[in-house]
């Protein structure tokens, strides 16, 4: 018998938007080692605990290996032909009977750029609907919208190199040490070794906060107010960058007028941030030659999230902090490919590369290339699709690589919507909670079992290579999507994801020079990429991405948070932890990570613990107007007063935080206001 040899294959981490790359050492299906190498553009020789130890899920006995078809309350194994024929018959029939907009498509920020590209092509070009969205709707859509309206590109202004190089870093509502660990390590190093100044604004005293020069703890949902007040104070002091504003920015006069009410006194009263703290923030920006602002869900999961993100971009524009090394806006992307899913068009209003669906010129380009008609109006986003299911407008759904039943807000409401569907296709690597509502479940292959590209939070596109053969009868998502499309009338013949990338590059100008050859090995490209392959690590060095080349200051006002009845007397915060990814479907199938953190918990403050006689391990019930969960307590000084924190990952579905959250959302992007929830607690 021939002995198998150790194989070393380059991959990109599947666990967060930092985009660490490394070699995976395997022998047969055994994963022996994760080996970071210096040529990796982001991480060099380090990874975090998930990147190093989090791969057991690939060989889990719980992997889906055969298509499943619902028969009554049971699922039975089927052949691919049986499953695909049924999908074609049902989706085709529903389209015929109710029209293409009766179908909805939910894409995956865990899957590749190429898979997202073909999925939106299936929705738009084959089915004929723009009802397609991805999980950026749950996180960074408000930041994307804010950047599109102020500076023109919906991505980070620069790279992790710029974040490291900044003289001042301000982190608002982001727990980078746990959600983006290698990036946080870069900040810690720059802070400790190179004198970088660090300001952290958060409800919870996370690990980065504990190292900060200044920690600011505003009242929940009030960030826009103190940010506008800092901006106004800078203008009042004459500290704005006048040359930058004259040459590169529009709408200055109107914007300045919009700030009138945002005095330090007003802001202090509304936010609880002291005048001295706001003056320290303003002075720090004024004194630093370069400032980066990083933010995440603490800003974007609110009723006024796009406006709060816009306020950040305005502050950077006023102080000339765009277009130079060490400056810019950095909304941190959570999933490994949430940036790429958006970039490659799984959004209801945008083609790949952020070109509008409503532009006849752009539509014509895609219609010519695809040989199909494309609807001219934006489709439904995730939130609107859930509402559409309840109203009976959306009759069928096709979802891949997304645990929507638990990660969308107001889980009970979302699951009730799924029950109203006439037909539901779920494609995943595990039989998820979402799959329980499906009519057909298709077995997909994770990143280690296929080729493709991911785009990290810096807009950096990197290749990952097939390490293992797909388990059982599972297949790469792009192959499954192609087979569904062909059964619905397409004639696609992609043999490799590189051909999909070539097509996307020929159609979307920001990817013009992207090709697999230029991404070989540890090479990477940061979009926009010109036809000659020149990429753009730092945006806006000479012009902003608008026709006149100038940025736009956008006046924004505060949207108060959702009101809750007084009986829901605790503010519920939520987020990620270091050891588990998102809802936990992959990391809880990993022995080491699960041994370290076996389940979720509720963080309560020392004050609350004393008042309610809570100790570590006390079992409590949390109730909101939308649901109930039971969970054990950890008493900690990381949270204060009546603010409690429930991580979003859970081994036991019944503890998922989104049984408590509501369907309220950002009024512009419909991103759920996950961070605006009151709960009451009882000891069980
Ligand atoms: Fe993976 Fe993110 Fe950790 Fe890097 S920092 S190893 S990308 S989870």
Where do the domains of the chain lie? 7-59, 68-138+336-455+465-510, 141-332, 570-661
pLDDT at 2 over 70: no
Decide whether any atom of ligand 1 lies within 6 Å of the 464 Cβ.
no
Cα(641) to ligand 1 centroid in Å equals 32
- Candidate CATH numbers 3.30.70.2860, 3.40.50.300, 2.40.40.20, 3.90.1150.10; the one for domain 570-661: 2.40.40.20
Cβ(117) to ligand 1 under 6 A? no
pLDDT for 334: 87
pLDDT of amino acid 3: 64
- The kind and range of the H/E element at 682 are strand 678-683
Tens-place pLDDT, residues 350-361: 999 999 999 999
Probe target for ligand 1 pocket from 34, 178, 180, 207, with the most ligand atoms within 8 Å of CB: 180
Q: Which residues, in sequence order, are bridge partners of residue 428?
A: 443
- For domain 68-138+336-455+465-510, which architecture applies? 3-Layer(aba) Sandwich (3.40)
Question: Which one of 11, 12, 13, 207 would you pick to mutate in the ligand 1 pocket, going by the greatest count of ligand atoms within 8 A of its CB?
Answer: 13
Q: Which CATH code for domain 7-59? A: 2.20.25.90
Q: Do 68 and 76 touch, CB atoms closer than 8 A?
A: yes
Q: How far is the CA of 571 from the centre of ligand 1 (A)?
A: 30
pLDDT for res 419: 98
* pLDDT tens, residue by residue, 422-440: 999 999 999 999 999 999 9
Q: How far is the CA of 677 from the centre of ligand 1 (A)?
A: 29
Share of the chain above pLDDT 90, in %: 96
The response to whether residue 578 sits with its C-beta less than 6 Å from ligand 1 reads no
Alpha-carbon gap, residue 427 to 429, rounded angstroms? 7
Testing ligand 1's pocket by substitution, the residue of 11, 12, 16, 455 carrying the most ligand atoms inside 8 A of its CB is 16
pLDDT digits (tens, 9 = 90+) for 318-345: 999 999 999 999 999 989 999 999 999 9
The closest-lying atom of ligand 1 relative to the alpha carbon of residue 42 is 4
pLDDT grade, residue 509 (50/70/90)? Answer: very high
Q: Give me the pLDDT at residue 4, please.
A: 73
Of 135 and 294, which is predicted with more confidence?
A: 294
pLDDT one-digit tens code per residue, 483-500: 999 999 999 999 999 999
Q: Percentage of the chain with pLDDT > 70?
A: 100
Q: How many CA atoms lie within 13 A of 221 on its CB side?
A: 22
Does any ligand 1 atom lie closer than 6 A to the CB of residue 47?
Answer: yes
pLDDT (average), residues 365-390:
98
CA gyration radius, the chain: 24
- Distance of CA 10 from the midpoint of ligand 1 (Å): 15
- Residue 595: is its pLDDT beyond 80? yes
Distance CA 262, CA 280 (A): 17
Report how far ligand 1's centroid is from the alpha carbon of 496 (Å). Answer: 26
Instruction: Calculate the alpha carbon distances from 76 to 61, 302, 418 in Å.
Output: 17, 42, 20
Rounded CA gap, 373 and 364, in Å?
9
Give yes or no for residue 388 having a pLDDT over 90: yes
- Fold classified for 141-332: Dimethylsulfoxide Reductase; domain 2 (3.40.228)
Q: Ligand 1 pocket, 498 CB below 6 A?
A: no
pLDDT in tens, 51-60: 999 999 999 9
Q: Is 51 in the pocket of ligand 1 (CB under 6 A)?
A: yes
pLDDT band at 678 (very low <50, low <70, confident <90, very high): very high
Ligand 1 binding pocket includes 447 (Cβ within 6 Å): no
CA distance 449 to 442: 16
Q: How many A from CA of 179 to the centre of ligand 1?
A: 8
User: Once rounded to an integer, what is the mean pLDDT over residues 453-473?
Assistant: 97
Q: To test ligand 1's pocket by mutation, which of 34, 40, 50, 587 has the most ligand atoms within 8 angstroms of CB?
A: 50
Taking the CA of residue 22 as reference, the ligand 1 atom at the shortest distance is 6
| Closest by CA position to 448, among listed 29, 17, 3, 113 | 29
Residue 563 pLDDT grade (very low, low, confident, very high; cuts 50, 70, 90): confident
CA of 103 to the centre of ligand 1 (A): 35
Q: Which residue's alpha carbon is nearest to atom 2 within ligand 1?
A: 16
35: closest CA among 64, 17, 11, 65?
Answer: 11
Nearest protein Cα to ligand 1, atom 3: 48
State pLDDT tens for residues 652-673: 999 999 999 999 999 999 999 9
50 CB within 6 A, ligand 1: yes
pLDDT score, position 619:
98
Residue-level pLDDT at 573? 96
Q: Is the CB of 580 under 6 A from ligand 1?
A: no
pLDDT for residue 590 is more than 70: yes
Ligand 1 atom with minimal separation from the 49 CA = 3
ipTM over 0.85: yes
Residues 94-130: tens digit of each pLDDT: 999 999 999 999 999 999 999 999 999 999 999 999 9
């Amino acid at each position: 018998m021939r002995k198998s040899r150790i194989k070393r294959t380059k991959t990109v981490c599947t666990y967060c938007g930092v985009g660490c790359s490394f070699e995976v050492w395997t022998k047969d299906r055994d994963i022996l080692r994760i080996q970071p190498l210096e040529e990796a553009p982001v991480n060099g020789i380090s990874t975090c605990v998930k990147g190093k130890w989090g791969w057991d899920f690939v060989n889990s006995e719980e992997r889906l290996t055969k298509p499943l078809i619902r028969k009554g309350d049971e699922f039975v194994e089927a052949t691919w032909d049986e499953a695909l024929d049924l999908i074609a018959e049902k989706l085709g029939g529903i389209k015929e009977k109710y029209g293409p907009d009766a179908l909805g498509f939910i894409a995956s920020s865990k899957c590749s750029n190429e898979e997202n590209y073909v999925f939106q092509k299936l929705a738009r070009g084959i089915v004929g609907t723009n009802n397609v969205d991805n999980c950026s709707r749950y996180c960074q859509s408000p930041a994307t919208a804010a950047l599109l309206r102020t500076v023109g590109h919906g991505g980070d202004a620069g790279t992790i190199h710029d974040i490291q190089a900044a003289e001042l870093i301000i982190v608002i509502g982001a727990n980078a040490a746990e959600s983006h660990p290698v990036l946080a390590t870069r900040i810690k190093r720059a802070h400790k070794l190179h004198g970088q100044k660090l300001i952290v604004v958060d409800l919870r005293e996370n690990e980065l906060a504990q190292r900060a020069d200044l920690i600011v703890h505003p009242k929940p949902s009030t960030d826009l107010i103190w940010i506008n007040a800092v901006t106004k104070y800078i203008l009042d002091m004459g500290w704005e960058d006048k040359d930058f504003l004259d040459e590169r920015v529009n709408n200055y006069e109107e914007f300045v007028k919009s700030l009138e009410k945002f005095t330090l006194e007003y802001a202090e009263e509304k936010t609880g941030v002291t005048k001295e703290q706001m003056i320290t923030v303003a002075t720090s920006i004024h004194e630093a030659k370069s400032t980066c602002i990083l933010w995440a869900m603490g800003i974007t999961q609110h009723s006024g999230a796009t406006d709060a993100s816009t306020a950040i971009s305005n502050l950077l524009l006023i102080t000339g902090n765009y277009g130079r090394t060490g400056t810019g806006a950095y909304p941190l992307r959570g999933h490994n490919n949430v940036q790429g899913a958006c970039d490659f068009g799984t959004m209801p209003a945008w083609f790949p590369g952020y070109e509008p669906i409503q532009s006849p010129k752009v539509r014509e380009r895609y219609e010519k290339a695809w040989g199909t008609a494309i609807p001219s109006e934006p489709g439904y986003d995730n939130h609107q699709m859930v509402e559409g299911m309840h109203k009976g407008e959306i009759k069928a759904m096709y979802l891949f690589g997304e645990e929507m039943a638990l990660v969308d807000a107001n889980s009970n409401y979302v699951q009730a919507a799924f029950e109203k569907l006439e037909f539901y296709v779920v494609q995943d690597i595990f039989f998820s909670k979402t799959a329980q509502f499906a009519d057909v479940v298709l077995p997909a292959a994770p990143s280690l079992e296929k080729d493709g590209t991911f785009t990290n939070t810096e807009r950096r596109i990197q290749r990952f290579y097939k390490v293992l053969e797909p388990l059982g009868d599972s297949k790469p998502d792009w192959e499954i999507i192609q087979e569904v499309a062909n059964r619905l009338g397409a004639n696609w013949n992609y043999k490799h994801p590189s051909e999909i990338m070539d097509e996307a590059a020929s159609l979307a100008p920001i990817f013009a020079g992207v090709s697999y050859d230029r991404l070989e090995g540890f090479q990477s490209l940061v979009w926009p990429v010109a036809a000659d392959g020149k990429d753009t690590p730092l945006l806006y060095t000479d012009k902003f991405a608008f026709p006149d080349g100038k940025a736009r200051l956008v006046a924004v006002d505060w949207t108060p948070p959702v009101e809750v009845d007084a009986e829901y007397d605790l503010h519920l915060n939520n987020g990620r932890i270091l050891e588990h990814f998102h809802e936990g479907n992959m990391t809880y199938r990993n022995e080491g990570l699960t041994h370290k953190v076996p389940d979720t918990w509720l963080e309560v403050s020392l004050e609350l613990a004393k008042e309610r006689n809570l100790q570590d391990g006390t079992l409590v019930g949390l109730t909101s107007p939308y649901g109930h969960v039971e969970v054990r307590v950890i008493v900690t000084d990381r949270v204060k007063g009546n603010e409690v924190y429930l991580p979003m990952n859970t081994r036991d579905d019944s503890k998922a935080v989104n049984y408590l959250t509501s369907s309220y959302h950002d009024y512009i992007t419909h991103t759920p206001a996950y961070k605006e929830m009151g709960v009451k607690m009882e000891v069980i």
